[in-house]
Structure 1
Amino acid sequence: MYSIRPVPKHYAWGSHSCLQRVFHLDETEQPLAEMWFSGHEQSPSTVIVDGEPRLLTQMIAEQPLTMVGSRSSSEFGPVLPYLFKLISATEPLSLQVHPVAFQARAGFNEENREGIPLDAPERSFKDINEKSEMVVALEPFLAAVGFSTRAFALKNLELLHLPVAQRMVEALNSAALRSEDESFADADALMPIAATVWSPSRKRLFRAFHAAITAEPMNAEELLADLRRAREQVEHARNDLAFDFAIRAASAFPGDVSSLALLMMNPVSLQEGESVFLPTGTPHAYIYGTAAEIMTNSDNVLRAGLTVKHKDITNVLQCLDCRTSTPVDPSNAQIATMLMRNLAFYKPDVSEYMLAYGQVDVQHEPWPVINSLARHYDSLIRQISGRTPFPHAGPRVVVCTQGSVKVRSEQDTVVLRQGQAVFVPASDGWAYVEAVSDGEGDPQGKYLVASTPF
């Protein structure tokens, strides 16, 4: 095992205290938004080898079978196939989507042909990889994820007096075929080629979303006043939450009309241990909270609004998944095999990554998070006691988020305190996490394990 150091990311929406507390960093005026455990070429983590720092990317390139194993190397090449982060947001961050593989390759190559440097602020595609991601809440976490139903969107938007909101209502009620409705020609011209086989409902959602993200900035006080007035008429908690998100976004980004798009989307409120998976093309915006985030090894972000960074409206619309959907909980499919006495697994339907979130306790007290998830999933839960190994020979990152934990593998044993982490290479074989019971650390500890699926 190798000690691994995360890469800090300072963005305006980050926290002034949360990640600093976890990683025992001095609080400064500069917010800390993300800590990357990364094998990405543009921001690689360092690992400590014989007392010396080495880039994780270099180690994997030199020893792919040792570091990531034969299965991962065969499928993804000599790279870490996932990017693992801890994130903390005190303000809403950008309304965005992520591309599928062919869109990422095309966009990356096009920006290369245009001579846009990889670190340029106007660059959208940083690599050729598609990007899906998953979030597991470490504290209460709020997000808008994917399009809700047309009825939900109309119920929210019809309460507003703003011209853009009424334009969105018109779009959601519009004719389906381009040739039959010239009033949305500007939106229809930006639909991807695949739209020729889209259902009418998908075209309507596209038109309404287009209206929100292409609208000119407006008077900030007028926007907020109409949102607050409309919220007072809301009767259901889910609609109220959607308005709460829109108001937070409009307050953080004064006059940005793209905040109205949140009224079309699923409002998600996660408690500790709850999760959501975001397939490629899913529109989303994180609103508030602290979470673990894992994704394919990609930094491709296409922003539509709610940001001071570069917006790429054309590519957002080309990559946008306009189907209505229910937020995907990656625990749902096999929850009976994913919850153990003090450990929860999160395995979305991807080949690159999964997460585990656990607690160790010398006194063997039950973890309240597991009890909460057990109540949530009712009869599907099976409680399994005993050690929980990660038996597959793949690359793993273990980070202690609270207290102390002991990480054992076939080759090594390491005690981690809060904020410390190790990279467990494939060559270490099985590994498991247990309580520190010899007085070296706290009797309780929480930890996360990022890995390829087993």
Structure 2
Amino acid sequence: MFVMHPVAKPYAWGSHTRLQTMFSTTPEAGLEGPLAEMWFSGHQQWPSSIDMTTGDRTPLTSLIQGDPGRLVGPRDSARFGPVLPYLLKVISARIPLSLQVHPVAFEARAGFNAENAAGIPSDDPKRSFRDAVEKCEMIVALEPFEAVVGFAPIPSMLRNLRLVDHPVARVMVDALSRRFSMRASGQEDFSEAEAMMPMSAAVWPESSRQVFRAFHAAVTAAPDSGLIDALIDAGGRAMLPHSRLSFAYAVAAARDFPDDPSVLSLLMLNPVSLDEGESVFIPAGTPHAYIHGTGVEIMTNSDNVLRAGMTVKHKDIGNLLHTLNCAPSAPIDPVAKNLVTLMMRDTVVYKPGVEAFMLAYGHVDERHGQWAMPERLIRRYGKLIRQIGVERTIPAEAGPRVLLCTEGRIRCSSPRDERVLRCGEAVFIPACEGAISVSAVGGDSTNNRVAQTDMRSFAGGEGVEGGVEVDGEPSSGSYVVASTQL
């Protein structure tokens, strides 16, 4: 195992206290101003540093490239090359952050090559495509987390937008109206939107074209300072819980971006409110915005972001519209989709169905106290869990893993090594390390068998039991483990 140091990202929307407290043991957290993200990264441009046995530090990228067969493993080296194929972050949003879309695979490759050919430096703030890799991501809440993800059904969009007394909202309602799709003369009002549709729009259903026109109207409208009053008034008249949540998020965004009409597009998206341990998966092409909260985010090893509003950063509306998935769809819950691997002792596994990453969120307690979060998920999915059971298959091979302590203290053990981690500390665990187990740090020297979570199900091989006394206080701790899909 190698001690892994995060890369700090101090963006304006970050927290003034949350990540600073969580990562108080790491010097990187001692930054002035808001701290938004901590990256545990094998990204070529912003790699985490790794402590070597010589006392030196080296970038994780260099470490992996020196021996990918042992560090990434033969299977993942063949699948992804000599890289860590995922990027793990802890993110804390104090205010809403940008309305954005991540490009799909062919758009990522084309955009990356085009910007390279144009000579745009990789660290240029105006660059949209920093990688040639499609970006999809998953967020797991560490505390209540609010977001909007994917387009809601058109009736829900209309229900919200018809309440808003604002000219841009009226244009959006016209675009979404069934009456408009039958009125050929009305097409002239949306000629600019028609011109910006991708070639694939030729085979879209009319409903997707309607959604595109309405979204285009919001993200290309001129600044307007009168929006927030209209949203507050409309939110007060919303009747359904989902509508009230949508307006609460839109009002929050409008308070921080008072002149930005793209806030109206939030009324077209699904509002998502996550409790601890709940998650949502965001495929490439899906419009989304984070509103507030702290969570663990895992994604393909890509920093591609196309922004359309609610930001002081570079916007790339044209490319965003070209990769936008306009089909209304419900948010994807990877916990609900993967209940076979959901519960095992005090661990929840999230498998969104992509090869590059999966995640586990776990808890250990030296006193064997009950972790409340799994019980809540069992109540939510209890009937289906009883139908399928909790038996899991032990895979034959481990991949590269990142283990981060998110609360308290934990012990991480493998056949070769053992580390005690405090909140905010992390280790990189090579594929060659084999199986790992995570246990509580015991305080009773007469009882050397401590509470533990068996990590065999996504580490490969047999787990390791045991532990030694570290100090006189029993402890508990929570953690996340990132891995490639098994």
TM over 0.5: yes
Q: TM-score range by the shorter chain?
A: over 0.9
Counterpart in the other structure of 2:209: 203
Of 176-185 and 364-373, more deviation after overlay is shown by 176-185
* Structure 1 residues 129-148: aligned runs within 5 Å: 129-148=133-152
CA contact (8 A) 2:109 2:132 kept: yes
1:39 aligns with 2:42: yes
Listed as ranges, the matches of 1:338-357 within 5 Å are 338-357=342-361
Q: Are the counterparts in 2 of residues 213 and 304 from structure 1 also a CA contact under 8 Å?
A: yes
Within 5 A, what are the aligned runs for 1:150-189?
150-173=154-177, 174-175=180-181, 181-189=187-195
CA distance in 1, matches of 2:184, 2:99: 26
1:182 deviates by: 2.1
Distance 1:430 1:41 in 2: 27
Q: Deviations over 1:165-200 (max 9, x none)?
A: 000000001217989722211001111111000001
Which residue of structure 2 aligns with residue 8 of structure 1? Answer: 8
**Where does residue 315 of structure 2 map in the other structure?**
311
Assess, with a 3 A threshold, how the Cα gap between structure 1 residues 282 and 451 changes in structure 2: closer, same or farther: same
Mapped partners of 1:177, 1:319: distance in 2 = 27
Q: Which amino acid aligns with 2:43?
A: H
SS at match of 1:181: helix
Distance 1:208 1:305, change over 3 A: same
Work out the CA distance in 2 between the residues paired with 1:176 and 1:141: 40
Q: Find the aligned partners of 2:163 and 2:478 in 1 and give their Cα distance.
A: 44
Structure 2 vs 1, CA of residues 340 and 179 (structure 1 numbering), >3 Å: closer, same or farther? farther
CA contact (8 A) 1:391 1:429 kept: no
Structure 2 vs 1, CA of residues 211 and 124 (structure 1 numbering), >3 Å: closer, same or farther? Answer: same
Secondary structure, in 3 states, of the residue corresponding to 1:105? helix
- Mean CA deviation greater in 152-161 or 20-29: 20-29
| Partner SS, residue 381 of structure 1 | helix
Question: Do the aligned partners of 1:436 and 1:443 also contact (CA within 8 Å) in 2?
Answer: yes
- Distance (whole Å) between structure 2 residues aligned to residue 444 and residue 387 of structure 1: 25
In structure 2, do the counterparts of structure 1 residues 152 and 403 end up closer, same or farther at CA, with 3 Å as the change threshold? same
How far apart, CA to CA, are the structure 2 residues paired with 1:394 and 1:346? 16
Greater shift in the superposed pair: 247-256 or 275-284: 247-256
The gaps in structure 1 that reach 5 residues or longer are: none
When residues 332 and 387 of structure 1 are mapped into structure 2, their CA distance, relative to the original with a 3 A threshold, is: closer
Aligned counterpart, 2:410? 405
* Counterpart code for 1:131: K
Supply the distance in 1 between the matched residues of 2:394 and 2:47 (Cα, whole angstroms): 27
Cα displacement (A) at 1:410 = 2.2
Matched residue, 1:321? 325
Pairwise mapping of residues 17-96 of structure 1 onto structure 2 (< 5 A)? 17-24=17-24, 29-50=32-53, 51-96=55-100
**Partner of 1:359 in structure 2?**
363
Contact in 1 for aligned 2:50/2:59 (Cα 8 Å):
yes
Quote the residue 2:485 is aligned against. 453
Determine the C-alpha separation between the residues in 2 that align with 1:386 and 1:411. 28
Task: Give the alignment partner of residue 100 of structure 1, picking from 94, 100, 104.
Answer: 104
Aligned to 2:119: 115
Question: Percent same amino acid among aligned pairs?
Answer: 53
SS in 2 for 1:323: coil
Partners of 1:246 and 1:263 within 8 A in 2: yes
Give the unaligned 5+ runs of structure 2: 443-468
- Tell me the matched-pair count: 452
For residues 240 and 415 of structure 1, the distance between their equivalents in structure 2, rounded to whole angstroms, comes to: 45
Per-residue Cα deviation, 1:385-432 (whole angstroms, up to 9, x for no partner): 999998742000001011111111122111111111100000101112
Distance 2:92 2:85 in 1: 23
Q: TM-score, normalised by structure 2?
A: 0.90
User: Which residue of structure 2 aligns with residue 423 of structure 1?
Assistant: 428
SS where residue 331 of structure 1 aligns?
helix
Match of 1:434 among 422, 433, 439: 439
SS of 1:126 mapped into structure 2: coil
Question: Equivalents in 1 of 2:313, 2:4: separation in Å?
Answer: 29
Q: Secondary structure of 2:334's match? A: coil
Aligned CA distance change for structure 1 residues 378 and 419 (closer, same or farther; 3 Å): same
Q: Which amino acid counterpart does residue 56 of structure 1 have in structure 2?
A: L
